[in-house]
Amino acid sequence: MDKFRMIFQFLQSNQESFMNGICGIMALASAQMYSAFDFNCPCLPHYNLAYGLGILLVPPFILFLLGFVLNNNVSMLAEEWRRPQGQRGKDPAVLRYMFCSMAQRAMIAPVVWVSVTLLDGKCITCAFCTSVPVETLGNASHPGLSQGEMKRVLARIPCKEIYDGQEFIANEVAIRYLRCISQALGWCFVLLMTTLAFLVRSLRPCFTQAAFLKSRYWSHYIDIERKLFDETCAEHARSFAKVCIQQFFEGMSTDLAAARCHPPMKAPADVGEDAEKLLGITDQGSMNVALKSWHRCKPPLHLHPPTLPSGNGWAGEKQSPTHLPVPRREMAAYYSRV
């Protein structure tokens, strides 16, 4: 149990590195999933487009949502967004920063999937095989076929074993044409995503450095505050349970001692320490009230400074030389003589 607790604490202390590792694993998994996926184009005019674009766009959307699900900060963002105003205001810039940080990590796996799919070319070949320019690449003067029959023949281009339109356009020519377009789109997509990542990660802090630092600081504060609150609640629950169990056994010991005429056992010394950790919250109702108060009205982000001793001159008070410390009194007397 201690080993699992140590692992959990390590993951909590290195949460950002852990999430980056999870996103990298998801990106590799998405590429591996596509390579293991058995792509079977239906080779029908009314289904090719839906099947090809579905394979291109639906799995990235699922991976994007999965990236949010695996991120522990999603619940924290939702809690901060939906909590009542109370005595602490909500900064929309901090919420946007938190959402953008999670979205950037969640976008890695979908971008890898779309890039690999476009560079492979099967989806584009299946989706747009009926749009091949037969006039340019093949023989469009073949008589006896209507427009619908021509599309039915072109829809079989991805299926070499059933393609029967060699007299219109060669199967290899059409596949190479569509794959070339798909790979061009894939490299353009990779370039676009790389450029956007560079602009977001490098140039954005340069133009809005003050706002960026403020948003990053308070997002870290919200995360750390939540972790410390959970740790404090866990420690309080542990002390509460320990004291409750100890009181139960003390009561049982008193009852048994009264029945058998034996003196009751003394309580351990550490029970008093656990009782002090309860901070006066010693029943279920008061604990529920405290938790509701934390959710509805969190304390303001204004720490009260400690009260300083009066007459020390730190607060800018005017004092006579006789009330100054000895070195200051001597200096005041020296300057008065001068």
Residue 333 lies in a domain: no
Task: Calculate mean pLDDT across residues 230-250.
Answer: 85
DSSP 232-274: HHHHHHHHHHHHHHHHHHHHHHHHHHHHHT-PPPPPPTHHHHH
pLDDT at residue 177, as a whole number: 93
List all residues 6 or more positions away from 325 whose beta carbon is below 8 Å from its beta carbon.
none
* Residue 329, pLDDT above cutoff 50: no
DSSP 311: T
Residue 117 lies in a domain: yes
Task: Give the total number of structural domains in the chain.
Answer: 1
Residue 44 lies in a domain: yes
Task: Calculate mean pLDDT across residues 62-87.
Answer: 83
Q: Which residue has the higher pLDDT, 99 or 30?
A: 99
Task: Calculate mean pLDDT across residues 17-36.
Answer: 69
Q: At what angle do helices 92-106 and 15-36 cross, to 10 degrees?
A: 40
Residue 231 lies in a domain: no
Residue 89: name the closest of 310, 327, 300 by CA. Answer: 300
pLDDT at residue 260, as a whole number: 63
* Residue 133, pLDDT above cutoff 50: yes
Residue 32 lies in a domain: yes
DSSP, collapsed to helix, strand or coil, labels residue 86 as coil
**Maximum distance among all alpha carbons in the chain?**
122
Residue 35 lies in a domain: yes
* Residue 252, pLDDT above cutoff 90: no
Task: Calculate mean pLDDT across residues 224-253.
Answer: 84
- Calculate the alpha carbon distances from 101 to 28, 90, 97, 305 in Å: 20, 18, 6, 34
The rounded distance, in Å, linking the Cα atoms of 101 and 103 is 6
Residue 330 lies in a domain: no
Average pLDDT, the chain: 76
Confidence at 311, pLDDT banded by 50, 70, 90: very low
Tokens of 90: 């909500």
DSSP 121: -
Tokens of 156: 């079989």
Q: Which helix (H) or strand (E) holds 124?
A: helix 122-127
Confidence at 317, pLDDT banded by 50, 70, 90: very low
Tell me the one-letter amino acid at 302. H
Task: Calculate mean pLDDT across residues 242-251.
Answer: 82
pLDDT at residue 179, as a whole number: 94
Q: Which residue has the higher pLDDT, 114 or 328?
A: 114
CB 139 within 8 A of CB 169: yes
Structural domain span for residue 84: 20-208
List all residues 6 or more positions away from 229 whose beta carbon is below 8 Å from its beta carbon.
294
| Predicted confidence (pLDDT) per residue in 115-128, tens digit | 999 999 999 999 99
Residue 144 lies in a domain: yes
CB 108 within 8 A of CB 31: no
